[in-house]
Amino acid sequence: MSKLQVHLFGKFMIERGTESLKGLDAGKERELLSYLLINRNQSHPRETLASLLWGETTTEKSKKYLRQALWHVQSALESCEVKDANLLNVEHDWVQLNLQSDVWLDVAVFECAFNATHGVPGNQLTKNSADLLIEAVDLYKGDLLDGWYQDWCLFERERLQNIYLCMLHKLMSYCDANANFEAGQAYGAIILRYDRASERTYRRLMLMQYKAGDRTGALRQYERCVGALNEELGVKPERRTRKLYEVIRNDGMTPVQQRSAPRDSDQAAGLTEVLVGLKRMQTVLATLQRRVQRDVTAVEAGIDTMRHKTESDSQSPD
């Protein structure tokens, strides 16, 4: 019997073989399962899950809705006869994904590939490591749970998208180092669809096109870079980008320069990319913090109201 497969990149989908999972149609049930799958390495207090998914209701109702959602999720999974163990460990106060379950998850495979190659520059990847990354980026059929806009989902979507772009940059470097310029350019085109103003990507594309014998294409790539930076950020290309353009235009790059140029300032450029990703994540965290503070204030106000009512009732004459 084939494994249960869960796809969270792009459209939410659970299937075994060619058949989709039945009985898991409600949005909150899918959200609950997706949250547990993404945060599979930790236990979750029931109260936290109830507040996260049904924060707009009372505590009593949110806990009731959580119980019902867990029952529906477990019933749907049991109908698939998950091998060896249930997918969820549900206790009185805690819920956790059962890591021993026979379930395949695209996000898990994706993150494993990233962790296995973390800290290894793209031009130093082995073939096996590069194959891991190629498989991982192929799993990225779209942004995480496309069409969902819950705060926690927006945060995870941004995190995984940054990992995706990091993998693509490494594969670009790997392809460049191994003279696979066609594949490298394809990865660069994907990066620009997500980050149109990635100047480092334009430089790499210029170099690969020039090395592949397409000097005209490399020069046109520079013009695209100029336009994108102006429209997106209102800035001009960096000096090293302009210098590369002049070298290519004058057809003055030697074979030695061609081999060494991709590594020039790669570390600084990489830190810039990381900084951009961190700033995006900072914005998402600030939004989450504001919501949490709002919810804390609302709960405190509710507690004060109930306390005052209790005191008033106790002081009133029989």
In a domain, 49, yes or no: yes
Distance of CA 249 to the CA centre of its chain: 38
CA atoms within 13 A on the CB side of 65: 22
Residue 74 pLDDT: 87
pLDDT of residue 170 exceeding 90, the answer is yes
Question: Is residue 132 located within the same domain as residue 266?
Answer: yes
Residue 9 has pLDDT above 90, yes or no: yes
Instruction: Name the domain count of the chain.
Output: 2
Judged against a pLDDT cut of 60, whether residue 76 lies above it is answered with: yes
CATH code for the domain in which residue 70 is found: 1.10.10.10
pLDDT tens across 121-168, in order? 999 999 999 999 999 999 999 999 999 999 999 999 999 999 999 999
Neighbours of 114 (CB within 10 A): 18
Residue 188 has pLDDT above 90, yes or no: yes
Q: What does the pLDDT read at residue 259?
A: 46
Domain containing residue 125: CATH number: 1.25.40.10
Is the pLDDT score of 247 beyond 70?
yes
Considering only the C-alpha atoms of the chain, give the largest distance between any 2 of them, rounded to a whole number of Å: 98
Residues spanned by the domain of 90? 4-105
Confidence of residue 23 (pLDDT cuts 50, 70, 90): confident
Last residue of a domain, one of 80, 105, 130: 105
Tell me, yes or no, whether 315 lies in a domain: no
Q: Taking 90 as the threshold, does the pLDDT of residue 172 lie above it?
A: yes
pLDDT above 90 as % of the chain: 65
d(CA 202, CA 47): 48
- What does the alpha-carbon distance between residue 118 and residue 90 come to, in Å, rounded to a whole number? 33
Q: Do 133 and 259 reside in the same domain of the chain?
A: yes
